[in-house]
Structure 1
Amino acid sequence: MAEELEVLDSKAGMPQKKQGVWSWVRLLLIVGILFVVLNNLTGLMKVSGNSMNPTLQSGNVLFINKLALFLGVPKYGDIVIINEDRLGYSLVKRVIAVEGDKVAIAEGVTYVNGLPLLESYTYGQSEDMEEVVIGVDELFVAGDNRTLGESLDSRDPELGPIHFRDIKGYAAFSLWPMHTLAKPLKL
């Protein structure tokens, strides 16, 4: 008779074997939901190339914050990940100007709305660029390495300003090697 009795859990009134199965189902469900949420709200990206030197080097692994895109538009100095379909790969660049701003480069100095931009994070010197006005829902982005030919960015007429819908997320920090990124610019 003792063999016929099932041991019941005192809380749920469910056999322990069934309760164990449901524990695994709940765990797998939670892991699945976390995976979907994290995959859509965050991401990882490996930097390839020198366009963001000295801030980021080739091989850095970045943690991408996609959630912030729903909370507002990128600000001056933010490092953003751009989905560039024309190129077939993503770009990592710094936001220099936003909708309505006027950007020009003269003698290696970047001007936003007529004021020189203090860019202590850059390397190299930009070529001169005539003033451009940033359109609705657009951003002017540039790599921190301003040496000619090192960064494909908004200074290049082939690419120009980036549309906001092409931003995949923000580079929150570097996972490898571990370090934070520069704070937003103050204009």
Structure 2
Amino acid sequence: MNHPEARQARPRWVKELMEWTMSLTIAIVAALLIQTYVYAQSEVQNISMQNTLVAGQRLIEDKWSYRFTTPKHGDIIIINGPESELRLIKRVIALPGDELDMRDGLVYLNGQKLDEPYVKGLTFAEGMKMPYKVSHEQVFVMGDNRENSQDSRVLGPIHLSSVEGKAVLRIWPLNKFGALQ
């Protein structure tokens, strides 16, 4: 026996399933695009940024801003390029054209001593010839834990094309939640 209701129920169910499938597919694609090109979650893997960041903390990385601007002094950036086999999290110390010097465990930028309350330990040149002038399209980065950081003093300057994004927010642990400075 063919009831008109039975014929209508099946197409409505199929239509709803197709709508849900399409919505879910769009949501997954949008999430993947955002994760790849706009914002991503990163985990701190080492001690080079102590006391600002410690291993195990989770961060939100802004991958979008540096498509329109360049890093600024003090930005905490994610580096993913040929300078290192590992993804690194470091602080921008000097920009293209800046002259950097390290004397008596302190950092001088363009002749002025930097105020770096976030630094753990003393800063030494690690064999680099000082003063050092940063070239075009490069930045000089260092970890905040200056005595335990593989940074531009060892790797050399970082090309701007190797800068993946800017760490903007700490999301874990919850008691440390907040914007990064």
Q: TM-score when scaled to structure 1?
A: 0.84
Shift of 1:7: 4.2
SS in 1 for 2:146: coil
Shift of 1:54: 0.3
Segments of structure 1 that go 5 or more residues without pairing to the other structure are 9-14
1:123 aligns with 2:123: no
Higher helix share: 2
- 1:1-187 aligned within 5 A: 3-5=3-5, 6-7=7-8, 15-40=11-36, 41-128=38-125, 130-147=130-147, 150-156=148-154, 159-178=155-174, 179-183=177-181
Q: Percent identity?
A: 33
Segments of structure 2 that go 5 or more residues without pairing to the other structure are none
Task: For 1:86 and 1:105, locate their aligned partners in 2 and report how far apart those are by CA, in whole Å.
Answer: 22
Tell me how many residue pairs correspond in the alignment: 174
Residues 90 and 50 (structure 1 numbering): CA distance in 2 closer, same or farther, change over 3 Å?
Answer: same
Shift of 1:182: 4.0
Contact 1:55 1:181 in 2 (8 A): no
Task: For 2:180 and 2:61, locate their aligned partners in 1 and report how far apart those are by CA, in whole Å.
Answer: 15
Shift of 1:2: 7.7
After superposition, the CA RMSD in angstroms is 2.0
SS in 2 for 1:155: helix
AA of the residue aligned to 1:29: T
Shift of 1:87: 3.4
Q: TM-score when scaled to structure 2?
A: 0.87
Moved more, 17-26 or 137-146: 17-26
Task: For 2:121 and 2:63, locate their aligned partners in 1 and report how far apart those are by CA, in whole Å.
Answer: 30
Task: For 2:96 and 2:20, locate their aligned partners in 1 and report how far apart those are by CA, in whole Å.
Answer: 50
Deviations 1:84-114 (A, max 9, x none): 4353211100001111100111111111111
Residues 38 and 83 (structure 1 numbering): CA distance in 2 closer, same or farther, change over 3 Å?
Answer: same
Task: For 1:104 and 1:163, locate their aligned partners in 2 and report how far apart those are by CA, in whole Å.
Answer: 20
